[in-house]
């Protein structure tokens, strides 16, 4: 990252830059999943994980009265393995397979390309925003999705609150530091005094935005569930 002037980023903005910058982002330029990547998630360890999720979806769909059309939305599909196994499992149950609109919400063009390669010839829609979802019963899947969202961090010292930042003056040696902050602004964002009797706070603003978007869908009385 080239910098010509002093740059300090809050921790969440720094994490977002590291993950999703178009040129340098971790998820934007590589596939970190699987044996050749940096880590392995449950769907890539055994197909049994995704098959169990598929059985649960079928059971839940039937408990809703088996709607003729419903959305199955995966938030952050990684390398597409879980969605692949779900569709393969549903092939044994034609009624749910024909009723399901398969949708993936993914931010990374690189991962979308990988997902499309694994899920070719499958009828899947990729969306960038949740408000593009059709207004019919919906089931949301979020396997380790919220865990990977950028976070803000605050700590209390001597009755004063400080937020964690990253200094990028030297692109080769960035460092963390804490900057005094008005914690009332954080309490206001939450709608209650989260700072009361606390010495450390960590949360994701992006996570709250997703929860708000999902809540709007819930308020419209669409069936829903999230698996994380």
Task: Convert the pLDDT of each residue in 17-27 to its tens digit.
Answer: 999 888 889 98
Residues 54 and 114 in one domain: yes
Are 178 and 129 members of one domain?
Answer: no
Q: Which residue's structure tokens are 């949740």?
A: 130
Asked if 179 and 165 count as a contact pair (C-beta separation under 8 A), the reply is yes
Q: Do both 223 and 141 map to the same domain?
A: yes
Q: What proportions of the chain, in percent to the nearest 5, are helix, strand and coil?
A: 40, 20, 40
User: What CATH number does the domain containing 220 carry?
Assistant: 3.40.50.150
pTM: predicted TM-score of the whole model, two decimal places: 0.86
Rounded to an integer, what is the distance from CA 19 to the centroid of its chain?
A: 12
121: in domain = yes
Q: What integer is the mean pLDDT of 11-36?
A: 87
The reported pLDDT for the residue numbered 179 is: 95
Of residues 218 and 101, more confidence is placed in 101
Residue 106 DSSP class: -
Residue 223 pLDDT = 67
Phi, psi (deg, nearest 5) at residue 24:
-115, -10
Tell me what pLDDT residue 66 has.
Answer: 95
Count up the domains in the chain and report the number: 2
For residues 130 and 155, the model is more confident at: 155
Mean pLDDT of 23-36: 83
Q: Give the pLDDT of residue 38.
A: 85
Q: Rounded distance, CA 67 to CA 73, Å?
A: 16
Strand 70-75 with 138-141, pairing: parallel
- Mean pLDDT lowest for which of 28-37, 42-51, 117-126? 28-37
Reported as type and span, the H/E element at residue 227 is strand 226-227
Task: Say which residue, 120 or 75, is predicted with more confidence.
Answer: 75
Quick: pLDDT tens for 62-113: 998 999 999 999 999 999 999 999 999 999 999 999 999 999 999 999 999 9
pLDDT at 222: 66
- pLDDT band at residue 3, thresholds of 50, 70 and 90? very low
- Rounded to whole angstroms, how far apart are CA atoms 32 and 95? 35
Q: What is the pLDDT of residues 163-191, one digit of tens each?
A: 999 998 877 788 999 999 999 998 988 88
**CA separation for the pair 101, 134 (Å, rounded):** 9
Question: How far is residue 223's CA from residue 66's CA, in Å, rounded to a whole number?
Answer: 12
pLDDT cut 90: percent of the chain above it: 61
Q: Are 19 and 124 contained in the same domain?
A: no
Structural domain includes residue 34:
no
The whole-number average pLDDT for the span 150-159 is: 95
Query: Which residues, 6+ apart, have CB-to-CB distance to 138 below 8 Å?
Result: 70, 71, 72, 73, 217, 222, 223, 224
Structural tokens at position 93:
């149950």
Instruction: Give start and end residues of each alpha helix (H) in the chain.
Output: 11-20, 42-45, 47-63, 81-90, 94-99, 109-118, 183-190, 205-219
As a whole number of angstroms, the longest Cα–Cα distance in the chain is: 63
Q: Contact at 8 Å (CB) between 169 and 6?
A: yes
pLDDT at 216: 83
In this structure, the answer to whether residues 66 and 126 fall within a common structural domain is yes
Same domain for 51 and 114: yes
């Amino acid at each position: 990252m080239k910098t010509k002037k002093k740059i300090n980023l809050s921790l969440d903005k720094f994490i977002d830059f590291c993950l999703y910058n178009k040129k340098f982002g971790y998820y934007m330029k590589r596939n970190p999943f699987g044996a050749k990547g940096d880590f392995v998630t449950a769907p890539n360890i055994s197909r049994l994980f995704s098959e169990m999720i598929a059985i649960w979806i079928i059971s839940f769909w039937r408990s809703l009265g088996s709607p003729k059309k419903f959305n199955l939305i995966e938030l952050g599909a990684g390398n597409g393995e879980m969605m692949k196994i779900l569709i393969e499992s549903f092939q044994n149950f034609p009624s749910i397979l024909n009723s399901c609109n398969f949708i993936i919400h993914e931010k990374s063009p690189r991962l979308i390309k990988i997902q499309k390669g694994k899920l070719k010839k499958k009828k899947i829609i990729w969306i960038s925003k949740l408000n593009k979802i059709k207004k019919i019963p919906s089931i949301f899947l979020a396997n380790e999705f919220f865990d990977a969202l950028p976070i803000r961090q605050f700590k209390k010292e001597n009755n004063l609150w400080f937020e964690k930042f990253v200094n990028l003056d030297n692109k080769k040696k960035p460092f963390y530091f804490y900057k005094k902050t008005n914690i009332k602004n954080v309490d206001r964002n939450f709608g209650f005094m989260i700072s009361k009797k606390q010495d450390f706070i960590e949360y994701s603003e992006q996570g709250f935005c997703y929860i708000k978007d999902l809540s709007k869908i819930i308020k419209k009385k669409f069936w829903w569930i999230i698996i994380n």
